[in-house]
Amino acid sequence: MHHIILILFLVMPLSTMSAEKRCGWLENPTPANLWLIDNDSEWTLSVQGRGFINEKSMANMPFIDQKEFVRTNGNYGFSCVCLNVKTNKEKSEILEIYGGEQLLLKKCLEDPNIYSKIPLR
Q: What is the pLDDT of residues 37-89, one digit of tens each?
A: 999 999 999 999 887 888 899 999 999 999 999 999 999 999 999 999 999 99
Chain-centroid distance of CA 23 in Å reads 7
The pTM score is 0.81
Q: Would you call 88 helix, strand, or coil by DSSP? A: strand
Distances (CA, A) of 20 to 2, 82, 89: 25, 10, 11
Is 10 within the bounds of a domain? no
Is 21 within the bounds of a domain? yes
Is 121 within the bounds of a domain? no
d(CA 59, CA 102) in angstroms, rounded, equals 14
Is 2 within the bounds of a domain? no
Q: What are the beta bridge partners of residue 117?
A: none
Is 55 within the bounds of a domain? yes
Structural domain for 28, as ranges: 16-115
pLDDT in tens, 88-111: 999 999 999 999 999 999 999 999
Tally of structural domains, the chain: 1
